[in-house]
Amino acid sequence: MLANSGRWQNDRVAGRVICGRFVIVTLFSKVGMFDRFGVLIQYLLPKQRLTELAGSVARAKKGRMTSSFIRWFARKYGVDMNEAESADLESYKTFNDFFGRPLRAGARPLAEADFVSPVDGAISQIGAIDDHHILQAKGHRFTTTDLLGGDAALSAQFRHGSFANLYLSPKDYHRLHMPCTGRLTRMVYVPGSLFSVNPATARGVRNLFARNERVVCVFDSGEHGAFVMVLVGATIVGSMETVWHGIVNPKRTGEVSAWDYASQPIVLEKGQEMGRFLLGSTVILLFQQNSIVFNESWKPERSVRLGEMMGNSPDPVAAGYTSA
């Protein structure tokens, strides 16, 4: 597997080059000026240091400052605490506890569908994988091989398949669940940059999701074939966590790490929790060819909720799969 860990070390150099381009472009166009400025700032900021600082603050035990910050955050972003297992903001000992709060029982019933939304969030992009390319934003595409850390063999399994990029905003529920039942076969941590993953940055940074830090989780559903869930890190995302491993990236060493679970019976049911972001980001799902027909109402920028219908499988005989 090829690592792209060297890219993030050159961000500040690239920022100086882009700064010059920004000035020239802005002189001739007012369209997207604020988007470009926001992207430029991200090249220049010490993103890893800011992320480490944010992680320290988020882990700090309850005190007056922590309580005040939680109240401010909930008010600022309109967090609906009525859906949480505990609606009392004072019950959370750390900001991480609040941010990764569990939902109350029954808050997200599962639709009667083969595939359900694994998160609360919004659709960034969705559709067919063009050979091995995924649409990031208008004018920007990236390859599944780059997304998967350079693993061409794994990428080949999803040629002409389907993908969904789901963005979690600050107000959203930040635990991740299974879109369908799957047996875990492998997990790979790929180091990278820590750009924001908001829509404006997706429009301005090429290969954003394939250059940011990410955790690649590979599953075999049996009935629907192999699928991948990629947890993409971002600025101030303290870390990413899975239910079978715990925190995947407690220290950012800049090295690829891989875990093989092929011989272990780790099976997660549809709708079951599989992980969480400690501060928010994006999850990208990859499905094999002929494995899913997406819900017709799923379009870019549409909000989605955990458990709602994401899609159904076509005729399993036509798809070429048999039950495990």
Q: How far apart are alpha carbons 324 and 321 in whole angstroms?
A: 9
Q: How far apart are alpha carbons 198 and 194 in whole angstroms?
A: 12
Q: First-to-last CA distance in the chain?
A: 28
The DSSP call for residue 40 is H
For CA atoms 71, 75, 79, 83, give the dihedral sign. positive
The verdict on whether 97 is a catalytic residue reads no
The verdict on whether 220 is a catalytic residue reads no
Q: Which of 173, 197, 189 is nearest to 121 (CA)?
A: 173
What angle do helix axes 11-28 and 33-44 make, rounded to 10 degrees?
160
For CA atoms 118, 124, 127, 130, give the dihedral sign. negative
The verdict on whether 281 is a catalytic residue reads yes
Contact 313, 291 (CB under 8 A): yes
φ, ψ dihedrals at 184, nearest 5°: -70, 130
The answer for residues whose C-beta is within 8 angstroms of residue 279's C-beta and 6 or more apart is 54, 55, 58, 99, 174, 234, 236, 237, 238
- Which residue out of 120, 146, 151, 172 is catalytically annotated? 120
Contact 18, 204 (CB under 8 A): no
Q: How far apart are alpha carbons 289 and 53 in whole angstroms?
A: 42
Phi-psi region at 320: left, alpha or beta (left = phi > 0; alpha = psi -120 to 50): left
φ, ψ dihedrals at 274, nearest 5°: -120, -20
- Which residue out of 124, 132, 146, 177 is catalytically annotated? 177
- Which residue out of 5, 155, 281, 291 is catalytically annotated? 281
Q: Which residues are catalytically annotated? A: 120, 177, 281
